[in-house]
Structure 1
Amino acid sequence: MHNFLPIAYFENQFIEFENAKISVATHALHYGTAAFGGLRGIPDSQNPNQILLFRLDRHCKRLSQSAKFLNYEIPADKIQQIIVDFVKKNRPTVSFYIRPLVYSSGLGIAPRLHNIEKDFLVYGLEMGDYLSPGGISCRISSWYRQEDRSFPLRGKITAAYITSALAKTEAVESGFDEAILMNSQGKVCEATGMNIFIVRNGQLITPGYDQDILEGITRDSILTIARDMGIPVVERPVDKSELFIADEVFLSGTAAKITPVKRIERFELSPERPITDRLKEKLTAIVENKDPDYKEWVYIIPLD
């Protein structure tokens, strides 16, 4: 069961979540003509009258860019203001997740992006750990990540997530926690909703944007933090066999944060994860607004 926040933004107004409903004929429901964002918020442990959002500006910019693929113009600053108002109206008291969505709201039957209404909504739910923070098991999926030449992978388009859903269910039903997808070139791409990192010989390695990955905001944050900490960073293609012999492997994302991987297929990974642990500790401090060097990444919403 999900504990949804009581107020949603729907059809240009704030209403009770239970009343935010769409028609069964909604275009986005049938054709995946929608794009979403996702960001975490937490009450400030140092000031109970404040809510902290991590990299709000980047999330709003990415969603605004994703909307362009749907022939929809919605400025990032408009998205940001609605999200801030949404948080103020809900006044959450525990860690939570915000889901903004742009979508084709018209009731047309043709698969198109022109001459059809678009809209924007926001809802949220309470959220703790998305995956086990102690480590998870992964399998290599039989499903492959889409290619940018046939799908706009620089956007978080809802239709793309059928591949993630297929891979996730395949993994769980075969005894694993999560799936790792390869790209069409047979290189490591990402997990079902997370980017992937490996550590080999003291280097932090992750697939680059040319590997058909999602441009993850948490991924970008980790790369910046690692470089600032003096950890060598390499963005390059990663072979499947490297996963099995890596010193460390972890997944990253808004929901997953930094989640270590303890087993891939039949290969057990070391329980010692010094670089993963350092990065996780640093990222946690930043998100909680306890690191003065990254205060610009934390948006503070006063509730008074």
Structure 2
Amino acid sequence: MHNFLPIAYFRNQFVPFAEANVSIATHALHYGTGAFGGMRGLPDPQNPGQILLFRLDRHSQRLSQSARFMHYDLPPDKIQQVIIDFVKKNSPTTSFYIRPFVYTSDLGISPRLHSVEKDFFVYGLELGDYLSPEGVSCRISSWHRQEDRSLPLRGKISGAYITSSLAKTEAVESGFDEAILLNSQGKVSEASGMNIFIVRNGKLITPGFDQDILEGITRDSVITVARSLGIEVIERPVDKSELFIADEVFLSGTAARVTPVRRVENYEYSPQRPVTDQLRDKLTAITENRDPEFRDWVFAIPLNA
């Protein structure tokens, strides 16, 4: 059961969420010709009169770039302003998630991106922990991550998430919490909707962009924070066997934040996770605007302004 925020942005205006509906003939519904973003927000723990959004500028920029794959010119500053207005109109009182979406809104049946109408909407819902903060179990999926030569993986293209959906359901129905997908070369790529990190000998290792991963904003945040803490970060291909001998493994994403992995297949990890815990605590402090070093990552929206 989801608790959706009461107001949505739809067809260039703010309307009640229940009235923001699309036709069953909508082009994007049939062809997956959409792209989305996702960002978290929360009431400021130190100042209840304002809402904090994490890296609003980067999220707006990435969605604008994703829209370009749809042949849709949607400037980042427009996305950002709509989201600011959206937050002010909803005035959330608890932790929440924002889903902006660009899509081909025409009612045609020809699979194309040219000469077809596009649109942009935003809605939100209350959201706490997407995955258990105590840690999750993962299986290696029988489904492989797509290749960038087949899909523009640097955008969050909605049609690409059929693979994530297949992998997630396969994992859950076989007794695990989450799936880890390999790429076409048999290297570790990412989870169903999250990037992945491993820790070996105190070093943080994660698949690079050449491994068909999404350019995750939380991933970028983890890498930047780790380096600020003096942790060596290595971006390189990761073998499946490395997952089984890693000291720590965790997932990162807007919804998942930093989620430790307890087990991959039948390989258990120690409950002691010094690097994961240090990074998670630091990122929590940043998102709550308690860390002056990264204050520019937090966008504060006064509700009375």
Task: Compute the TM-score of the two structures, normalised by the length of structure 1.
Answer: 1.00
Name the SS for the 1:149 alignment partner.
coil
> Which residue of the partner structure matches residue 163 of structure 2?
163
CA displacement at 1:251 relative to structure 2: 0.1
What is the 5 A alignment of 1:137-156? 137-156=137-156
> Which residue of the partner structure matches residue 44 of structure 2?
44
What is the 5 A alignment of 1:1-304? 1-304=1-304
Overall identity of the aligned pairs, in %: 76
Residue 273 of structure 1 aligns with an amino acid whose one-letter code is R
State the Cα deviation string for residues 255-282 of structure 1 (Å, max 9, x = none): 0000000000011111110000000000
CA displacement at 1:219 relative to structure 2: 0.2
CA RMSD after TM alignment: 0.3
Name the SS for the 1:143 alignment partner.
coil
In structure 2, C-alpha distance between the alignment counterparts of 1:137 and 1:222, rounded to whole Å? 21
In structure 2, C-alpha distance between the alignment counterparts of 1:46 and 1:150, rounded to whole Å? 46
Name the SS for the 2:141 alignment partner.
strand
State the Cα deviation string for residues 179-224 of structure 1 (Å, max 9, x = none): 0000000000000000000000110000000000000000000000
In structure 2, C-alpha distance between the alignment counterparts of 1:259 and 1:249, rounded to whole Å? 9
CA displacement at 1:169 relative to structure 2: 0.1
5+ unaligned residues in a row in structure 2: which ranges? none
Residue 246 of structure 1 aligns with an amino acid whose one-letter code is A
5+ unaligned residues in a row in structure 1: which ranges? none
CA displacement at 1:240 relative to structure 2: 0.2
CA displacement at 1:43 relative to structure 2: 0.2
In structure 1, C-alpha distance between the alignment counterparts of 2:169 and 2:218, rounded to whole Å? 24
CA displacement at 1:148 relative to structure 2: 0.4
Name the SS for the 1:227 alignment partner.
helix
Residue 15 of structure 2 aligns with an amino acid whose one-letter code is I
In structure 1, C-alpha distance between the alignment counterparts of 2:198 and 2:214, rounded to whole Å? 17
CA displacement at 1:116 relative to structure 2: 0.4
In structure 1, C-alpha distance between the alignment counterparts of 2:245 and 2:271, rounded to whole Å? 13
In structure 2, C-alpha distance between the alignment counterparts of 1:149 and 1:25, rounded to whole Å? 29
State the Cα deviation string for residues 21-79 of structure 1 (Å, max 9, x = none): 00000000000000000000000011111000000000000000000000000000000
In structure 2, C-alpha distance between the alignment counterparts of 1:40 and 1:150, rounded to whole Å? 30
Would you say how many aligned residue pairs link Structure 1 and Structure 2? 304
In structure 2, C-alpha distance between the alignment counterparts of 1:22 and 1:150, rounded to whole Å? 28
CA displacement at 1:171 relative to structure 2: 0.1
In structure 2, C-alpha distance between the alignment counterparts of 1:14 and 1:126, rounded to whole Å? 18
CA displacement at 1:227 relative to structure 2: 0.4
Residue 65 of structure 2 aligns with an amino acid whose one-letter code is Q
